[in-house]
Amino acid sequence: MNSPNLPVVSEGSRLTPGELQSVVFARAALGRRGYDEEQVRNFLAYVERELVQILNDKAALAAEVDRLRAQAAKGASGVMAPEDAHFQAVRILSQAQQTADLYVADAERYTRELAHEARLQREAILTDAKGRAEHMLEDAHRKAAAVADAAVRDAERSRPGPAARPGALPDDERRAMEREIAYLRTYSDVYRTHLRSYLEALLRNVDEWENSEKASLPSV
């Protein structure tokens, strides 16, 4: 049996697709039945395609190995060093702490602003209330003084001349007291009226407050 005319291949190297292509088979002797030439060619073409595929795969794998080796090498000399890991942790913790400090400072500023506004409102309300009270007292005083004067004038008109009775107060003193009584009655009367209207206004405020709070609640 004739062996195919294989090219001389040096030790250690591999069969290449080109070598396969250059293989020449000897013709079968006349009259003897040999391989079908067409079939042999087809088969060799098939082997060649397979070889190409295998070599391509091999190159891709070698590249992948190189890539992984390079990555592993880079990792070993950088991120994984304990010294650097420590600094990284310190850096991350520092950043976290700064964030926390920022939140704390924001919250403090917010409560400070709220408290400041509340103080201003409190002062405004107090000033307003003091102004009203002062107004009420002055008004009461003015009216009471007028009424007292009128009372004294009336008394003088109805009892002209000195008419001292025994046991009774002297006229001057009695007039002064009448005047004082009239003053106080009117004063307290005017003051009560003012106070009542002020308290009613306050109650209305409380009602409004309650209503607006109810309105702002989600309906159940």
Binding site for another protein (CB under 8 A): 86, 89-91, 93-94, 97-98, 100-101, 104-105, 108-109, 111-112, 115-116, 119, 122, 130, 133-134, 137-138
Q: Cβ of residue 99: shortest distance to another protein, in angstroms? A: 11
CB distance 182 to 148 below 8 Å: yes
Dihedral of CA 170/175/177/178: which sign?
A: positive
Which one-letter amino acid corresponds to residue 31?
G
Q: Cβ of residue 181: shortest distance to another protein, in angstroms? A: 22
Give helix 171-216 / helix 82-158 axis angle, nearest 10°: 150
Q: Cβ of residue 83: shortest distance to another protein, in angstroms? A: 11
CB distance 191 to 140 below 8 Å: yes
- Indicate the length of the chain as a whole number: 220
Q: Cβ of residue 213: shortest distance to another protein, in angstroms? A: 21
Closer to another protein by Cβ: residue 49 or 122: 122
Q: Cβ of residue 104: shortest distance to another protein, in angstroms? A: 4
- The count of other CB atoms within 10 Å of the CB of residue 66 is 10
Closer to another protein by Cβ: residue 101 or 154: 101
Q: Is 187 exposed, middle or buried (0-12, 13-18, 19+ CB in 10 A)?
A: buried
Closer to another protein by Cβ: residue 71 or 111: 111
Closer to another protein by Cβ: residue 37 or 123: 123
Residue 13 CA, distance from chain mean position:
70
Closer to another protein by Cβ: residue 58 or 122: 122
